[in-house]
Amino acid sequence: MVDGFLIIDKPAGITSHDVVSRVRRILKTRKAGHTGTLDPFATGVLPVAVGEGTKAIPFLDEGEKEYEAIILLGTVTDTLDYTGAVLQEADWSTVTASSLQESMATLTGTISQIPPMYSAIKQGGQPLYKLARQGVEVERQPRQVTIHTFKLLACDFPALTVRVRCSRGTYVRTLADDLGRLLGCGACLSSLRRTVSGPFRIADAITLEQLEHCAEHGELQGQFIGPLAALTHLPEIVLTHEQTIKVSHGITPELPVDVEICRLSYEQRLRAVAQRKPDGRMMLQRVFH
């Protein structure tokens, strides 16, 4: 079994957990998990960790995401996307190019977002979407998120094709709803495709069907991003053979004191992640076999 990360191009209509279940069946392994959940209707980059790759998930830098989306003006739904029940329909014909650009600029930068009720955020131990399905709406605390880019790619009123580059934790559905409120006509998301999630890009993604083909023909090796490559945002320290033996036994070798967290490698494979403790000592956080 190859260890590392698969970048799956998630299809619409299934959950992120469904994707992981398919990967487990195709690769005949139980050790797999995804990062960065996508809604069932959304498509695109879904990183799936396999084998030793699962140990690297806590150390990934997925602080930045990028999406391409279609926003439908004039329609408001309870889920903030096209899959929900329509709550309101309004005239969008008064929207102009200048008012659209002005509203999108207002929603760029560090902004406050209220998470949607149809989300996996838990309140009182209960996911919000379960409460929403029961017809219960609860107060949610606003969150600070950063919209680095909110760009109009195409305009075919009432449909707007946009690109959003944003911080982790941003809800593009909420961004669409907020845009509709600013424009005075309401809006919802009609499609969402993630093109970037941290170090993972859509150009490197494969479909589940392609993964199945590769598994059947023994061509899996080239489809994985190894744990060492997935953590390139961390400084790398190359171990000696003697240090590698120590690490394999859970012993922290002598390390530089000028780093907070680092990758420890040997023969171009990730052997461990080490991090500085409050007392200044470097300690192994996770060992990779």
Domain locations along the chain: 4-61+199-229, 64-196, 234-287
CA dihedral 7, 12, 13, 19 (to 10 degrees): -10
CATH of domain 4-61+199-229: 3.30.2350.10
Architecture of domain 234-287: Roll (2.30)
* CA distances for 204 relative to 5, 44, 103, 193, angstroms: 11, 11, 34, 15
- Amino acid code (one letter) for 85: A
Task: Spell out the residues 6+ positions from residue 96 whose beta carbon is closer than 8 angstroms to its own.
Answer: none
Cβ atoms of 70 and 189 within 8 Å: the answer is: yes
Cβ atoms of 20 and 52 within 8 Å: the answer is: no
Give me the residues paired with residue 77 across strands. 86
Q: What local confidence, expressed as pLDDT, does residue 1 receive?
A: 62
* Three-class SS state of 46: strand
pTM exceeds 0.75 for this model: yes
Domains 64-196 and 234-287 share a fold: no
Supply the residues annotated as catalytic. 39
CATH of domain 64-196: 3.30.2350.10
Closest CA to 97 of 77, 113, 73: 73
Q: With b meaning 16 or more CB within 10 Å and e meaning fewer, what string describes 75-86?
A: bbbbbbbbebee
Q: What local confidence, expressed as pLDDT, does residue 35 receive?
A: 93
* Three-class SS state of 55: helix
Q: What local confidence, expressed as pLDDT, does residue 255 receive?
A: 87
Is the link from the previous residue into 158 a cis peptide, with omega within 30 of 0? yes
Cβ atoms within 10 Å, residue 6: 28
Closest CA to 28 of 264, 228, 216: 216
* CA distances for 113 relative to 1, 7, 142, 260, angstroms: 42, 28, 5, 31
Alpha-carbon dihedral sign for residues 135, 84, 16, 171 = negative
Tens digits of pLDDT across the chain (289 residues): 678 999 999 999 999 999 999 999 999 999 999 998 899 999 999 999 999 999 999 999 988 999 999 999 999 999 999 999 999 999 999 999 999 999 999 999 999 998 886 767 777 777 767 776 777 777 788 899 999 999 999 999 999 999 999 999 999 999 999 999 999 999 999 999 999 999 999 999 999 999 999 999 999 988 999 999 999 999 999 999 999 999 999 999 998 878 899 999 999 999 999 999 988 889 999 999 8
